[in-house]
Structure 1
């Protein structure tokens, strides 16, 4: 940080903000971030995510890549991450994939609730009763078994077997325990209740399970690993979950939900104002992710989360501030055009365009927008019992999810947030320079507006392709870092995984085309049929010296292949007799097209089994 001129950096045209955390984050306009990152990487000769090596411009590109790999490995080993930041990243990875399910099931539940009320009020005929029941049943498919979904995602995130994580989530429901049979709480002797500990218990249980499973994978012989590892893992963690985690997590979740309800009840509008005021700064710091399991725990305990409607007011404050800017800065055509584009989605609860494109770059409007969110939060908290039956949307899109027919209170809070953000911004939050037309703005302001105009015209539409890559050979899968070869362990040839083979049959990991087959037959490359992934399959370490003797390749360059189709064979015994390691490496060599990649399996895998997920541009 001592090498950064922070004041000058923040003044650069197009820089919307600078965040000082574990890394230095520079917030740029829409589309500019990708453009700038690409140019920087190309000029330095490194791939995205790698550390820039010293004096890179004086070295050849190959030397730069080698040096970058070394520096990256050293930096990764020495990098100190705060425990809470890592925890928040895990929580986000667990729950973000479930958000579409929350939204879909929540809206169906909301529709069922509205129809049920209409049926009670005799506004619908009795024949609608079955339809309402079916809708309620569909929505319950998520919420009734939510612990299992969370257990599966948690296992994936921590490198455990997803099915085992789902079992821990299912154990919390105490299946098969029907009165008069009970299981006592070892701490107070009272019977355990189905679901006790909820989401918090599942997160804790599956996190511990990941360590137990990895321990057994490491210490149990490969020949019996598939039998004893899952058996012992489920047995140990099942008993521990029932007798220790459920009682403790149940006490903690009850205390947490009770404390939040107490704060909202006693603090009332004051608590609502503080929560609504501070939520957007929490989002910018990444702290909002910890709220997801709290929302879900409250939904499981009391049927709704009273926090979400209050926090959603922060987006309402942004909408009010944007409208005030539109009126007072109407001569600033560029700003008005940005507001026109961002305002509709802001009303529906998508606040990022307004935050990063409008209020945050101007400074004061962001603060006055937060004040508007606090006012809306105070109004919602004043009524009490305004809660959401699901998480996901905010803004106007949250109205159908408001429980107990309190949607009107939520709407009043939203209108108050609009009004609060508008008034605070109109009178105190509009910078003078923002009200000037383009031809009267100072040169610096004019240049910044031009940069923002160019940025807003960039096409932000990207096509993300998500695909799972299958194991090219049966055996024990491991991270690439464990391979005893610096070229692969330091990922100089891309990122991927390695498999210690148990047999010599090599199959295609995905649909695609064979690009090249090495003359020594120890490696081949493919191009995926979708996502433009360049795949390298490398059989053994230093096996190029064997001049193809242990290998048979049955495909040709240019040939189209399907996933699971045999590509060739390798004689593992001959490779070992030659003193070589037969480990098979599979890497994606063009990592510049990759947005995210993740290993899905651990331990023993079979050829053709999905083991690696890649999201590509």
Structure 2
């Protein structure tokens, strides 16, 4: 349900279906081609829990989501079928003229993004096999190794067939006719014929000997041309014969044309691109590493790296390694290092906490929270990240670092993709990027803004409850069993159902949650109000027996900065169970926020066990939580 609601809100915020020419997704982002980017409400998008940020690259409008982007995209095209057609290559009226280079990048991305799960799985397996052999856990000649190798290598060898299916969806041709085209090129006897060394002719026309195994560019061009041939044939064939003749004529035309013209041309283009880029990466060494490493974050932000996807995959399939991929790992380490520098330099505790958590996330290969949430916001850390990445990239290419598999993750989990002869140099480049980015961030500094820090924190995790300074040290632990009563009318649910890991994973402590039906919060215990957050969306109360309760109304509602909330108590007030603490405009808040309210015992460690007493429909004052010493 969460993905469906997010999808609906995203479409609404980009100006509705009528404003969308096309949309597809990559690993972390929805990439829109909008008729008018000015109609997109970026502020509304950034308020959505699952949206990390937005970005405009050229004319492309990007909504950054993270690992859940496929689920959001699936819900989007399910809810709005017109968007599915645009994602598969269809066009809508009013589609604006687009930059040719950007269109090529988008096309390549649209073809390869759906294939990434298969390519990633194969790449990880190949990396693990290389690691197992290196460590002596497996021998390369065993039956088990050969079977596992077939799983990993098969995807890359039969890459033209995978590409033909995905490209057909992008170009609007019949995917099964396209697969038939790819299968004909990969047919075993075709390979024997073209590799025999003897002249090959088709009806007297010479056929150039080309190996199509693991190739990329030839099949892309072939399926693109097939989409036009298929439509042309479809227009001239009578309806009663379409099923029989359109596929037959399309294949009879396209397979020979591919063998005679497109295949050699595509191979020439592919070899030229691979050769030129590989020459730059190999011969440019230190200089190329500095330039590409430093610019990698910008390359990824603009989507230009998708133009290199065919080259990367071709290198892995034919050479067994690629020199561009390590730079993506190094760039991620630069972003992680910069946010670590923010953590070291920042004075605001909330910003320090956010910077540390996003640094760890970037180390794990997910850089959007670090890049967009922290580094770009404060600017100088982003520059520091580029400097660190340039240094790491220069080191890596100076020592010829290679990636041996497409692991699908440019962080620590993706390290198996780098296992090989240059592995230690790869780690060195990553370490240099991290350390230098952190050091430069600390040296350059940045201007802190407390309000900005609070908003950044809200987009990643709810704020932690501040320590109640007014509590005497000797009274800091619980002294008796305690019971908390329902602070609102609505539905009580287990804490794990809160859609935020800070509460759902019980990082703040054990407790219970509520979905309110009335916009009023009352005190669940008798005691002292230790803290009323200045944004009024959360409070900390301590009972006379020492139980400390944090009540947090809604997810990310800190962004409202107190709007729609009215506090009826102040820090230091004494309250009885049932006293009114807060009222809030339930209707207004639920338009943009999840109103699920968490109530947690922050001093959970003081108790032997904490038990929910009632789930389901509850009313004010019903016992819902018991803490036992």
Interval of TM-score (by shorter of Structure 1 and Structure 2): 0.5 to 0.7
Q: Distance in 2 between matches of 1:258 and 1:382?
A: 19
Q: Distance in 1 between matches of 2:201 and 2:392?
A: 42
1:152 aligns with 2:165: yes
TM-superposition CA deviations, 1:130-174 (whole Å, max 9, x none): 222221122123112111001100001111111122223234435
TM-superposition CA deviations, 1:428-456 (whole Å, max 9, x none): 2x21x32xxxxxxxxxx333333334333
1:450 aligns with 2:450: no
Q: Mapping of 1:72-83 within 5 angstroms?
A: 76-77=93-94, 79-83=96-100
Structure 2 CA distance for partners of 1:383 and 1:30, relative to 1, 3 Å: farther
Structure 2 CA distance for partners of 1:407 and 1:26, relative to 1, 3 Å: farther
Structure 2 CA distance for partners of 1:270 and 1:190, relative to 1, 3 Å: farther
1:134 alignment counterpart: 147
| Correspondence for 1:314 among 326, 331, 345 | 331
Q: Residue 301 of structure 1: CA displacement?
A: 2.8
Q: Mapping of 1:71-220 within 5 angstroms?
A: 76-77=93-94, 79-119=96-136, 129-173=142-186, 175-177=188-190, 178=192, 180=196, 182=198, 184=200, 192-195=209-212, 198-220=215-237
Q: Residue 308 of structure 1: CA displacement?
A: 0.6
Q: Distance in 2 between matches of 1:191 and 1:127?
A: 35
| Correspondence for 1:283 among 281, 284, 300 | 300
Partner of 2:188, secondary structure, is coil
Structure 2 CA distance for partners of 1:183 and 1:391, relative to 1, 3 Å: farther
| Correspondence for 1:23 among 37, 57, 81 | 37
Contact 1:197 / 1:253 at 8 angstroms: preserved in 2? no
Structure 2 CA distance for partners of 1:97 and 1:364, relative to 1, 3 Å: same
Q: Distance in 1 between matches of 2:132 and 2:97?
A: 53
Contact 2:340 / 2:438 at 8 angstroms: preserved in 1? yes
Contact 1:197 / 1:250 at 8 angstroms: preserved in 2? no
2:287 alignment counterpart: 270
| Correspondence for 1:394 among 405, 410, 414 | 410
Structure 2 CA distance for partners of 1:379 and 1:86, relative to 1, 3 Å: same
Structure 2 CA distance for partners of 1:109 and 1:391, relative to 1, 3 Å: closer
1:32 alignment counterpart: 47
Q: Which runs of 5+ in 1 are unaligned?
A: 1-18, 38-47, 49-73, 435-444, 463-591, 593-617
Q: Distance in 2 between matches of 1:185 and 1:368?
A: 59
2:397 alignment counterpart: 381
| Correspondence for 2:382 among 366, 371, 374 | 366
| TM-score between the two structures when normalised by the length of structure 1 | 0.58
Q: Distance in 1 between matches of 2:214 and 2:145?
A: 30
| Correspondence for 1:425 among 438, 441, 450 | 441
1:252 aligns with 2:269: yes
TM-superposition CA deviations, 1:354-379 (whole Å, max 9, x none): 01111011111111101111111111
1:408 alignment counterpart: 424
Q: Residue 223 of structure 1: CA displacement?
A: 0.5
Partner of 1:176, secondary structure, is helix
Q: Which runs of 5+ in 2 are unaligned?
A: 1-32, 53-62, 64-90, 463-497, 502-590, 592-629
Partner of 1:252, secondary structure, is helix
Q: Distance in 2 between matches of 1:20 and 1:327?
A: 40
Structure 2 CA distance for partners of 1:456 and 1:112, relative to 1, 3 Å: closer
Root mean square deviation, CA, Å: 3.5
Contact 2:214 / 2:318 at 8 angstroms: preserved in 1? no
Higher relative contact order (CA 8 A, sep 6+): 1
TM-superposition CA deviations, 1:459-498 (whole Å, max 9, x none): 8779xxxxxxxxxxxxxxxxxxxxxxxxxxxxxxxxxxxx
| Correspondence for 2:349 among 317, 329, 333 | 333
Contact 2:355 / 2:374 at 8 angstroms: preserved in 1? yes
Partner of 2:210, secondary structure, is coil
Q: Distance in 1 between matches of 2:50 and 2:363?
A: 29
1:3 alignment counterpart: none
Partner of 1:345, secondary structure, is helix
Q: Residue 413 of structure 1: CA displacement?
A: 0.8
Partner of 2:189, secondary structure, is coil
Q: Distance in 1 between matches of 2:92 and 2:165?
A: 32
Partner of 2:310, secondary structure, is helix
Contact 1:160 / 1:213 at 8 angstroms: preserved in 2? yes
1:239 aligns with 2:256: yes
Structure 2 CA distance for partners of 1:313 and 1:217, relative to 1, 3 Å: same
Q: Distance in 2 between matches of 1:114 and 1:424?
A: 34
Q: Mapping of 1:550-589 within 5 angstroms?
A: none
TM-superposition CA deviations, 1:392-429 (whole Å, max 9, x none): 2112233211253321111111101111211221212x
Q: Distance in 2 between matches of 1:113 and 1:36?
A: 37
TM-superposition CA deviations, 1:165-221 (whole Å, max 9, x none): 2223234435313264756499x9795132279201111110111111111222211
Partner of 2:211, secondary structure, is coil
Q: Mapping of 1:591-606 within 5 angstroms?
A: none
Contact 1:197 / 1:249 at 8 angstroms: preserved in 2? no
Aligned length: 394
